[in-house]
Copies of this chain bind each other. A is one copy, B any other.
């Protein structure tokens, strides 16, 4: 069997200019980055302003398990299947981070015969967007310490600097550090930390900005520290917003690539789905909606995190109206939710599947609360048995949702034809009456409680004293009418990663609350969120190489 990178390399790529032409993008709006990547000018959005939008299809999933659910693969495969049905379709995805790619998880460009290409480029530096974010992020960091070093006119409290440094790699040694050692010429010693770039507020900002002017406004709004009197100090106060915007002037433009079957894909932005909203940029989605009649996009982690934020933050902020939601599940993963251990997933187990189905069921019901039509995609694994498939289909039917078996990993678009047909039929027959789950006018606590009770199935919310204090402060600042962005484990509806399935009656604890003033949401952290991953004992990097033809091997 061929590896993902071999399949990707065997694909016959079209020149990216051909892909652009297939979307009626004229040369004036395209900047080439090599033969198979391009950036699309934001001018095109203005030009197409009055053109009606295509249909927006969100792909989300059950809570992820180590068994895998294949959300990106289904997103890409569904796009390819719609194209096989002669629809004008654009896939919109997030940009992968280098960290996990060199670590454990591998890249994030789909798999098998449902991939975006050139996968090596997309997984490594792509068009440099994430590097630009790292630069802008660390420029701001340097300007904070530099300001204090040169007299601290803004009276920044060195003990209350909120802005950390960032690197697009997994590096546990940088989680907790002390900087500014070695005497006065090196500044002043203080505790600091590096986060992975995709966790930077700048990534979230880039993905929610309307245009370059809004980007600059939002960058200026970033709260980097408090002064000695407790007032926020912003990036604008440090005069960093202009240079940061300059560094991001190309990164804000969405990137055009293609799937392995030549379907146009826009890949742009990739914020964390815990402390940020976890989906590709608003600009990319808007561009895709102007270019395609059908846009297939995805949101990070399970529907409790990624889809919730897509619907409550991104769609609301950007005035998007999702037309349909596809929830991806695998029989393997549902069996894990039903209590089966990782080693025993290949055996048929109808009881476990029955039990684990509750996880899928709750996600489907949750999505309906947004009044958007829902379809389930069963992403095939070789060991799925006919009885298991039948049971799952039947259980879905009982809750009024159609489940469609898809085999896009092995068969590409062809393996998703049935799903595509069902998606189209739903679009035709069921109208989306999308509305967000909660009102922005609710208090911060009310918003968190609503999500916890209505989506997670929890019974209540506890707060640490620090979290309470911060909620008070944000409310006093008059910033409490922003959406909340909950950071919690992706593995469970609760804040306990071991509570699989569809747990009930649990309480979640909000340990920390902070304002992402540039991104314009309030982050509520439940549990232990790691913003700088580490490498495993044998990092994926050990197997990556370049062969005598200059081709990359070992990337997955």
Contact = CB atoms under 8 A, between A and B. Distances in A.
Interface of A: 31-35, 39, 42, 98, 102, 120, 124-125, 128, 131-132, 134-135, 138-139, 141-143, 145-146, 149-151, 165, 167-182, 185-187, 191-192, 212-213, 216, 239-240, 242-243, 245-247, 249-250, 534-537, 539, 541-546, 548, 550, 552, 554-555
Contact of A245 (B171, B177, B539, B546): B546
B173 A142 contact: yes
- When all copies of this chain in the complex are counted, the total is 2
B34 A138 contact: no
Q: Is the interface of A mostly helix, strand, loop or mixed?
A: mixed
A181 B186 contact: no
A176 B181 contact: yes
A181 B268 CA distance: 34
14 contacts: A32-B32, A125-B135, A131-B131, A135-B168, A146-B534, A176-B186, A177-B179, A213-B548, A239-B541, A240-B541, A243-B544, A245-B546, A246-B552, A249-B550
B31 A535 contact: no
Contact of A142 (B34, B131, B216, B535): B535
Given A172-B187, A186-B172, A545 B245 contact: yes
Given A132-B125, A245-B545, A186 B169 contact: no
A66 to B, nearest CB: 20
Contacts of A168: 135
Contacts of A175: 181-182, 186
B145 A171 contact: yes
Given A32-B32, A151-B537, A212-B550, 13 more contacts: A31-B32, A34-B39, A142-B170, A146-B172, A172-B180, A173-B180, A173-B187, A176-B186, A185-B534, A239-B541, A242-B543, A243-B541, A246-B555
A162 to B, nearest CB: 16
A382 B229 CA distance: 51
B182 A143 contact: no
A537 B39 CA distance: 36
A477 B480 CA distance: 65
A200 B486 CA distance: 39
Given A176-B182, A537-B150, A216 B546 contact: yes
Given A34-B39, A138-B167, A546-B212, A535 B143 contact: yes
Which A-B residue pairs are the 8 nearest by beta carbons? A242-B545, A176-B182, A32-B32, A131-B131, A243-B541, A142-B171, A243-B544, A176-B181
A125 B182 CA distance: 31
Contacts of A181: 175-178, 191
B32 A34 contact: yes
Contacts of A246: 120, 124, 544-546, 552, 555
Given A548-B213, A552-B249, A243 B542 contact: yes
Given A173-B142, A212-B546, A242-B544, A250 B125 contact: yes
